[in-house]
């Protein structure tokens, strides 16, 4: 598999195209404390990938369609399930699955934890269904809608290092927005971080240096947004092969793990240096 990398080496980290089980079009990806990788499948599979990518196993089955994946401080796996319209908690040892919250969700898409164990969840609602799309839950599952600000398909989420703001990929808005977190966890007024015309932004992840990495579902590209606002290309694949409609991202050190909804593998990008200037966007 080959891609244009703009100076960033990339490779298939784990290939699940053939064999049993198969890595069934993963969208979510998360890194455990032991370095293992967790991801989900389109038929509800929850997978654990060995830290070196040598093998993987199916740990659980939600019976639905797994989107975003995150781990809490105790190593439990949380999954946004599109088909079940629910956030589910998976025991990584037994594989048991339970509903985390009874709050009504239309299409939960992605999720992330803050340092206190609160869980932020994006509800993308559906294409063309613009409306409130951000929820916040306490560790016991209580909580609900966090802000009534409208989003045009709220997707990937990432908290900044200080826990002062939640960043949201707004797929059909073709941009990333920042929601300040105020006293008591209150949501501030969303503000635009970067406009990405001609693309469909999906997943977000912060690097250790504070730069924001954005996976673009279309075209198959990953970009880096500097704290000062400059945007550069990290990796792209015009053939949609090594990177194939990338969705969620997760850092492990300077390595960036990328889920490809369009194929059956995870990609590893060595993301240690800034990208080159971004080519002009289509008119």
Instruction: Decide if pLDDT at 2 tops 80.
Output: no
Question: Is the pTM above the cut of 0.75?
Answer: yes
- pLDDT tens digits along 9-29: 889 999 989 888 989 999 999
Chain mean pLDDT for the chain: 92
Whether the pLDDT of residue 57 is over 50: the answer is yes
- Cα–Cα distance measured from residue 102 to residue 89, given in angstroms and rounded to the nearest whole number: 12
Distance, in Å, from the CA atom of 25 to the CA atom of 8, rounded to the nearest integer, reads 24
Cβ pair 71, 55 in contact under 8 A: no
How would residue 3 be classed by pLDDT, with cut points 50, 70 and 90? low
Q: What is the dihedral of CA 197, 199, 205, 208, to 10 degrees?
A: -60
**pLDDT reported for residue 1:** 46
Q: Map out the domains of the chain as residue ranges.
A: 19-210
Q: Mean pLDDT, to the nearest integer, of 233-261?
A: 94
With beta carbons less than 8 A apart as the criterion, state whether 132 and 107 touch: no
Q: CA-to-CA distance for 162 and 173, rounded, in angstroms?
A: 26
Phi, psi (rounded to 5 degrees) for 117 = 90, 5
pLDDT band, very low/low/confident/very high, at 7 (cuts 50, 70, 90): low
- Topology of 19-210 in CATH? Neuraminidase (2.120.10)
Calculate mean pLDDT across residues 150-172.
98
CA–CA dist 176, 248 (Å, integer):
14
Among the listed residues 204, 178, 34, 190, the one whose alpha carbon sits nearest the alpha carbon of residue 109: 204
Please say whether the beta carbons of 265 and 253 come within 8 A: no
């Amino acid at each position: 598999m080959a891609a244009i990398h703009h100076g960033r080496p990339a490779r298939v980290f784990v290939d699940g195209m053939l064999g049993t089980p198969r890595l069934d079009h993963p969208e979510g990806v998360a890194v455990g404390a032991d370095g293992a990788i967790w991801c989900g499948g389109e038929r509800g599979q929850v997978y654990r990938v060995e830290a070196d990518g040598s093998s993987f196993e199916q740990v659980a089955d939600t019976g639905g369609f797994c989107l975003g994946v995150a781990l809490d401080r105790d190593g439990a796996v949380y999954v946004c399930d599109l088909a079940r319209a629910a956030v589910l908690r998976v025991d990584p040892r037994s594989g048991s699955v339970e509903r985390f919250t009874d709050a009504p969700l239309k299409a939960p898409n992605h999720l992330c934890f803050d340092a206190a164990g609160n869980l932020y969840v994006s509800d993308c609602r559906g294409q063309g269904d613009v409306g409130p799309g951000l929820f916040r839950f306490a560790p016991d599952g209580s909580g609900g809608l966090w802000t009534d600000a409208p989003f045009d398909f709220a997707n990937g989420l990432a908290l900044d290092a200080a826990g002062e703001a939640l960043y949201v990929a707004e797929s059909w808005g073709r941009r990333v927005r920042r929601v300040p977190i105020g006293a008591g966890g209150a949501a501030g007024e969303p503000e635009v971080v970067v406009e990405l015309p001609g693309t469909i932004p999906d997943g977000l992840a912060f690097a250790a240096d504070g730069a924001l990495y954005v996976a673009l579902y279309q075209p198959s590209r990953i970009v880096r947004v500097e704290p000062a606002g400059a945007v550069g290309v990290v990796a792209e694949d015009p053939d949609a092969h090594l990177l194939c409609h990338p969705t969620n991202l997760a850092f492990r050190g300077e390595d960036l793990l990328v889920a490809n909804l369009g194929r059956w593998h995870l990609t590893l990008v060595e993301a240690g240096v800034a990208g080159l200037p971004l080519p002009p966007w289509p008119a």
